[in-house]
Amino acid sequence: MNRKNLPNKPGDTDMKTILAALIATAILSPAAHAAGKDGSFEVASLQSSTAKTGWLQVLSEGKPAKAKTAQKNNVNLSPIQRELVAFNENVAPGTIIVDNSDRRLYHVLGNGVAMRYGVSVGRDGFIWTGTNTVSRKAEWPTWNPPEQMRAREAKKGHILPVSVKGGIDNPLGARAMYLGSTIYRIHGTNQPSSIGKAMSSGCIRMANEDVAHLYANVTIGTKVIVRD
């Protein structure tokens, strides 16, 4: 797959009551204009487990929108579909919240909604909490494994390179958003099977399709909250 042609479509909900907010935020955002070729767009409620109803279905008076099934074995796709959800916490629009326990990332859009993504968080001994800001963004970033990581992996018989150029085989994936002056990032991955699990060395992993979607809507200085 051409790394420059990552799919970029929003996720799902069944809440007609937030349609106005959806139009005011997500549809008018840059990400909405960069949606998939079929224009598919759906939303989903945090409080509901009922069958999902896309906004196209709402606007077409109940006619179901055609669903797309994720392609298996595609390194760019997440096993957990991103969704537009009801989100009423008192935080500023644009804020990113990572829930370690749920292994979900919320990008707060305002007007009571947020985009929710599946992520991989730190495994035992590497999980962390705190507040920071996005200090740098990079497309197809170079990976420079920290010296501590290289030493740790060497003890296991895994020799890590000093540097790995950006590309589909790079562990940082398609995009990276660096958090302050820390070693942590929100980044893509070439291991989408880790999404929804605690498997990283502290960074927040996203599938390439999802990290590209988030990256397009995040600016330098964006507040990031990582919590249990």
Reply yes or no on domain 3-227 having CATH 1.10.357.10. no
Return the sign of the alpha-carbon dihedral for residues 99, 216, 180, 153: positive
Among the listed residues 33, 107, 158, 187, the single catalytic one is 187
Average pLDDT, integer, range 180-194: 96
Delimit the domains of the chain by residue range. 3-227
pLDDT reported for residue 196: 98
C-alpha distances (whole Å) from 72 to each of 83, 97, 126, 140 are 19, 28, 29, 23
From 33-47, 104-118, 200-214, the region with the lowest mean pLDDT: 33-47
Say if CB 184 and CB 204 are below 8 A apart: yes
Query: Residue 6: pLDDT band by 50, 70, 90 thresholds?
Result: low
Please tell me the distance from the alpha carbon of residue 29 to that of residue 99, in angstroms, as a whole number: 24
Average pLDDT, integer, range 13-24: 46
Please tell me the distance from the alpha carbon of residue 80 to that of residue 117, in angstroms, as a whole number: 7
Say if CB 217 and CB 186 are below 8 A apart: no
pLDDT digit string, tens, across residues 95-122: 999 999 999 999 999 999 999 999 999 9
Using left for φ > 0, alpha for ψ between -120 and 50, and beta otherwise, residue 66 falls in beta
Query: Which residues, listed in sequence order, are joined to residue 114 by a DSSP beta bridge?
Result: 85, 108
Residue closest to 110 by CA, chosen among 24, 49, 31, 173: 24
pLDDT digit string, tens, across residues 126-151: 999 999 999 999 999 998 888 888 89
C-alpha distances (whole Å) from 21 to each of 3, 47, 63, 87, 129 are 32, 17, 22, 11, 30
Per the annotation, the verdict on 187 as an active-site residue is: yes
Per the annotation, the verdict on 107 as an active-site residue is: no
